[in-house]
Amino acid sequence: MRESVQAEVMMSFLVSEELAFRIPVELRYEARDPYAVRLTFHLPGDAPVTWAFGRELLLDGINKPSGDGDVHIAPTDPDELSDVHIRLQVGGDRALFRAGAGPLVAFLDRTDRLVPLGQERNLGDFEESLDLALGRILSESQHDERKAG
Protein backbone atom coordinates (compact mmCIF):
# COMPACT_ATOMS: atom_id res chain seq x y z
CA MET A 1 0.00 0.00 0.00
CA ARG A 2 1.20 3.45 -0.85
CA GLU A 3 2.03 5.47 2.26
CA SER A 4 2.20 9.05 0.96
CA VAL A 5 1.14 11.47 -1.75
CA GLN A 6 3.36 14.24 -3.06
CA ALA A 7 2.96 17.02 -5.59
CA GLU A 8 4.85 20.13 -6.56
CA VAL A 9 2.93 23.25 -7.49
CA MET A 10 3.99 26.74 -8.39
CA MET A 11 2.60 29.48 -6.16
CA SER A 12 2.95 33.22 -6.19
CA PHE A 13 4.58 34.71 -3.11
CA LEU A 14 2.81 38.04 -2.74
CA VAL A 15 5.38 40.32 -1.11
CA SER A 16 3.24 43.45 -1.66
CA GLU A 17 0.55 44.64 -4.05
CA GLU A 18 3.30 45.55 -6.53
CA LEU A 19 5.72 42.67 -5.99
CA ALA A 20 5.14 38.93 -6.39
CA PHE A 21 7.27 36.05 -7.57
CA ARG A 22 6.64 32.39 -8.35
CA ILE A 23 8.10 29.70 -6.12
CA PRO A 24 7.89 25.90 -6.09
CA VAL A 25 5.93 24.43 -3.19
CA GLU A 26 5.98 20.76 -2.32
CA LEU A 27 2.70 19.34 -1.02
CA ARG A 28 2.94 16.15 1.01
CA TYR A 29 0.42 13.90 2.72
CA GLU A 30 1.33 10.81 4.74
CA ALA A 31 -1.01 8.03 5.84
CA ARG A 32 0.80 7.81 9.20
CA ASP A 33 -0.36 11.39 9.96
CA PRO A 34 -3.76 11.24 8.23
CA TYR A 35 -5.18 14.56 9.43
CA ALA A 36 -2.34 16.80 8.21
CA VAL A 37 -0.90 18.10 4.96
CA ARG A 38 2.57 19.61 4.72
CA LEU A 39 3.55 22.43 2.41
CA THR A 40 7.26 23.09 1.93
CA PHE A 41 7.96 26.53 0.49
CA HIS A 42 11.20 26.94 -1.46
CA LEU A 43 11.91 30.65 -1.13
CA PRO A 44 14.89 32.01 -3.08
CA GLY A 45 17.97 32.47 -0.93
CA ASP A 46 16.42 30.83 2.13
CA ALA A 47 16.24 27.30 3.48
CA PRO A 48 12.94 25.55 2.67
CA VAL A 49 10.17 26.22 5.18
CA THR A 50 7.56 23.55 5.97
CA TRP A 51 4.12 24.23 7.39
CA ALA A 52 1.76 21.48 8.55
CA PHE A 53 -1.95 22.02 9.01
CA GLY A 54 -5.24 20.17 8.70
CA ARG A 55 -6.15 18.55 5.40
CA GLU A 56 -9.76 19.65 6.00
CA LEU A 57 -8.61 23.28 6.37
CA LEU A 58 -7.06 23.17 2.91
CA LEU A 59 -10.16 21.53 1.46
CA ASP A 60 -12.53 24.02 3.12
CA GLY A 61 -10.36 27.00 2.15
CA ILE A 62 -10.69 26.24 -1.54
CA ASN A 63 -14.43 26.96 -1.33
CA LYS A 64 -14.80 29.49 1.51
CA PRO A 65 -12.62 31.50 3.90
CA SER A 66 -11.27 29.10 6.54
CA GLY A 67 -8.83 29.08 9.42
CA ASP A 68 -8.72 30.97 12.67
CA GLY A 69 -5.12 30.56 13.80
CA ASP A 70 -1.80 30.97 12.06
CA VAL A 71 -3.14 29.62 8.76
CA HIS A 72 -5.93 31.25 6.75
CA ILE A 73 -7.05 29.91 3.38
CA ALA A 74 -9.66 31.53 1.16
CA PRO A 75 -10.73 31.54 -2.49
CA THR A 76 -9.84 34.74 -4.33
CA ASP A 77 -13.33 34.68 -5.90
CA PRO A 78 -15.94 32.85 -3.81
CA ASP A 79 -18.25 32.50 -6.81
CA GLU A 80 -15.91 30.38 -8.93
CA LEU A 81 -13.15 27.83 -8.51
CA SER A 82 -10.05 29.75 -9.56
CA ASP A 83 -7.25 30.77 -7.21
CA VAL A 84 -6.73 30.42 -3.48
CA HIS A 85 -4.93 32.70 -1.02
CA ILE A 86 -2.92 31.00 1.72
CA ARG A 87 -1.85 33.33 4.53
CA LEU A 88 0.65 32.09 7.09
CA GLN A 89 1.42 34.05 10.23
CA VAL A 90 4.01 33.75 12.98
CA GLY A 91 3.71 36.48 15.58
CA GLY A 92 3.62 39.74 13.63
CA ASP A 93 5.20 38.22 10.49
CA ARG A 94 2.89 37.24 7.64
CA ALA A 95 3.38 35.63 4.27
CA LEU A 96 0.72 35.53 1.57
CA PHE A 97 0.68 33.02 -1.28
CA ARG A 98 -1.62 32.57 -4.26
CA ALA A 99 -2.15 29.13 -5.78
CA GLY A 100 -4.35 27.75 -8.50
CA ALA A 101 -7.26 25.79 -7.04
CA GLY A 102 -6.95 23.07 -9.71
CA PRO A 103 -3.60 21.62 -8.56
CA LEU A 104 -4.73 21.77 -4.91
CA VAL A 105 -7.96 19.92 -5.72
CA ALA A 106 -6.00 17.29 -7.69
CA PHE A 107 -3.63 16.81 -4.73
CA LEU A 108 -6.51 16.53 -2.26
CA ASP A 109 -8.23 14.02 -4.54
CA ARG A 110 -5.11 11.84 -4.43
CA THR A 111 -4.99 12.10 -0.61
CA ASP A 112 -8.64 11.05 -0.48
CA ARG A 113 -7.85 7.94 -2.51
CA LEU A 114 -5.09 7.07 -0.03
CA VAL A 115 -7.14 7.83 3.12
CA PRO A 116 -10.77 8.82 2.48
CA LEU A 117 -11.82 12.00 4.24
CA GLY A 118 -13.61 11.03 7.43
CA GLN A 119 -11.80 7.68 7.63
CA GLU A 120 -8.62 9.00 9.28
CA ARG A 121 -9.55 7.66 12.68
CA ASN A 122 -10.25 4.20 11.31
CA LEU A 123 -6.79 4.09 9.78
CA GLY A 124 -5.19 4.91 13.12
CA ASP A 125 -7.26 2.27 14.88
CA PHE A 126 -6.40 -0.30 12.22
CA GLU A 127 -2.67 0.40 12.46
CA GLU A 128 -2.75 0.26 16.26
CA SER A 129 -4.77 -2.98 16.22
CA LEU A 130 -2.37 -4.51 13.71
CA ASP A 131 0.65 -3.59 15.86
CA LEU A 132 -1.00 -5.08 18.95
CA ALA A 133 -1.95 -8.27 17.12
CA LEU A 134 1.53 -8.70 15.64
CA GLY A 135 3.10 -8.11 19.06
CA ARG A 136 0.84 -10.73 20.61
CA ILE A 137 1.60 -13.25 17.85
CA LEU A 138 5.37 -12.73 18.20
CA SER A 139 5.20 -12.97 21.97
CA GLU A 140 3.17 -16.20 21.80
CA SER A 141 5.51 -17.78 19.24
CA GLN A 142 8.55 -16.93 21.40
CA HIS A 143 6.78 -18.40 24.43
CA ASP A 144 5.95 -21.58 22.47
CA GLU A 145 9.59 -21.88 21.30
CA ARG A 146 10.84 -21.65 24.90
CA LYS A 147 8.37 -24.36 25.99
CA ALA A 148 9.45 -26.66 23.15
CA GLY A 149 13.19 -26.09 23.78
Question: Residue 47: which CATH number?
Answer: 2.30.31.20
**Residue ranges in the chain assigned as alpha helix (H):** 55-63, 101-114, 120-148
Into how many domains does the chain fold? 2
| Same domain assignment for residues 30 and 44 | yes
Residues 6+ apart with CB under 8 A from 94: 87, 88
| Same domain assignment for residues 105 and 124 | no
| Same domain assignment for residues 114 and 127 | no
- For 97-127, the DSSP string reads EEEEHHHHHHHHHHHHHHS-TT-HHHHHHHH
| Same domain assignment for residues 94 and 130 | no
CA-CA-CA-CA torsion sign (124, 113, 71, 44): positive
Single pTM value for the model: 0.77
The per-residue pLDDT for range 76-120, each reduced to its tens digit, is 987 888 899 999 998 888 999 999 999 999 999 999 999 988 878
Query: Among 131, 132, 120, which Cα is nearest to 32's?
Result: 120
Whether pLDDT at 125 is above 50? no
Whether pLDDT at 123 is above 70? no
| Same domain assignment for residues 139 and 74 | no
Q: Which amino acid is at 10?
A: M
| Same domain assignment for residues 80 and 12 | yes
* Domain interval for residue 53: 4-118
Please give the pLDDT value at position 140: 58
35: left (phi over 0), alpha (psi -120 to 50) or beta: alpha
| Same domain assignment for residues 129 and 96 | no
| Same domain assignment for residues 81 and 11 | yes
Please give the pLDDT value at position 149: 56
